[in-house]
Amino acid sequence: METIIRKGKKEDMPAVLELIKELAAFEKEPDAVVTTVETLEQEGFGENPLFHVFVAEVDGRIEGMALVYYRFSTWKGRTLHLEDLIVREEKRGTGLGNALYKKVIEFAKEQNLKRVEWVVLDWNQHAIDFYERSGANILKDWYTVQMDEDGITKYVETNT
């Protein structure tokens, strides 16, 4: 079994989208994915790419991925956000997730970034335990705040 962890390419985006959909199902949101292969190709591989993706390839098939993008902290400077890290269900427990995680952390180190951050669902104890063992801090006094497309529209309409 030959395993390669590498930077993703435009032609990998159909497999990356499959993995995104698998992650959404795992997170109990199977119908939430609206992005497309075309969107991933445009936004990740245009003149100003919005993200980087690393893939785990086993015997020529993409079995996992980690998608990251830069953020800016007013306190720390440039940081990295790990949006998603997913390994196909049948390949979990083989070390691919750990290899992708390591690649992300190494990438942050190479880029001289001040922090890597991500979110984890409170019921995903396996992931929480893994992150804590790796030396990451789980911040329990911060909430993730989001406003979806409908909320944005309603806010703009009622505050103009």
- DSSP-derived secondary structure letter, 69: E
Mean pLDDT score, 127-143? 95
If pLDDT is split at 50, 70 and 90, which confidence band does 1 have?
confident
pLDDT attached to residue 160:
86
Element (H, E) at 72: strand 61-73
For the chain, the first-to-last Cα distance in angstroms comes to: 59
Q: Is-catalytic flag, 155?
A: no
SS3 138: coil
* Calpha distance 88→3 (Å, rounded): 14
State the pTM of this model.
Answer: 0.93
Burial code of 91-129, b = ≥16 C-beta within 10 A, e = fewer? beebebbebbbebbbebbeeeebeebebebeeeeeeeee
* Per-residue pLDDT tens digits for 59-113: 999 999 999 999 999 999 999 999 999 999 999 999 999 999 999 999 999 999 9
* Calpha distance 54→68 (Å, rounded): 8
Q: Which of 69, 70, 101, 131 is catalytic?
A: 131
